Structures are given as structure tokens and as C-alpha cells.
A = this chain, B = another copy of it.
Amino acid sequence: MNNTDKNRLQAFREERAELNEKTLNSGHLGIKRFFNMDANTYRDGALDSKTKELLGLVASSVLRCNDCIDYHLEQCAKTGSTKEEILDAMNVALIVGGSIVIPHLRRAVETIEMIEEEGLFQKQ
């Protein structure tokens, strides 16, 4: 993996943070409330946060949104999923969503590699 690849994930994080702030400051109360509700969704509830991040990852994968996949991959690592568990979840997305998911799976495999190099996966 070269430096350009490393920068893809870092660039995404910075752009996401900057534009999220602009979006929240746009002055529309409904948008602000949606963002707040979205954040609450993945907190521990009847299902724990780890499982819900995997659900978010699979939902993002079958709906084919690279930014959402990258975000949830990082959250999956941080909430304790292993690489093997993440791949097993992505395989469910592949079967349900079909070969149209493959370009996103390929890219996810690259993101997982970046996340691992950054040491974001928890020690088992």
C-alpha cells in the first residue's frame, strides 16, 4: 500500500468532519435532528454497539455507498469486530446484494488494510 492509499482514508475523515460541520451549521433544524438521531442509533441498546455497526456496514454495502462503508469499517474495528468478522458480514452483503457489490468489497478490503496499519483493530 502506498502513501496515496493511506491518504484516501485520512482525506475522507477530514473532508467528512469539515462538511459535517458545515451541514450542521446550515441552519436547518430537521437536518440537525436527523444527524443527532443517526448518532444515537448505533449506541448500545437491545443489541450492542458492535453488532449494530456490523448492521450499518451491511446496510451501507448493499446500498453501495463507499463513504458509509469506510465509516462503518472504522467503527466496526473500534467496537471490537475482527477482520474475519467484518469479512463474514461483507459476505452476507455480497450474497444479498450480488456482484454489483464487488467493487465496494474490493475497496473495503483495501480500507481494512489501511485500518489495520493504523492499529485500529483491538488486540484479541
Please give the residue numbers on chain A whose beta carbons come within 8 Å of chain B beta carbons, in ascending order.
16, 19-20, 22-23, 26-28, 30-31, 33-35, 37-38, 40-42, 45-47, 51-52, 54-56, 58-60, 62-65, 67-68, 82, 84-85, 87-103, 105-107, 109-110, 113
Contacts and interface: CB of A to CB of B under 8 A. Distances in A.
Given A30-B40, A63-B100, A87-B26, A82 B46 contact: yes
A84 to B, nearest CB: 4
Contact of A94 (B31, B42, B54, B63): B31
Question: For A27, A89, A107, which residue has the most chain B Cβ atoms within 10 angstroms?
Answer: A89
The 7 A-B pairs with the shortest beta carbon distances in the complex, nearest first, are A98-B98, A46-B84, A19-B106, A46-B88, A67-B103, A59-B96, A30-B91
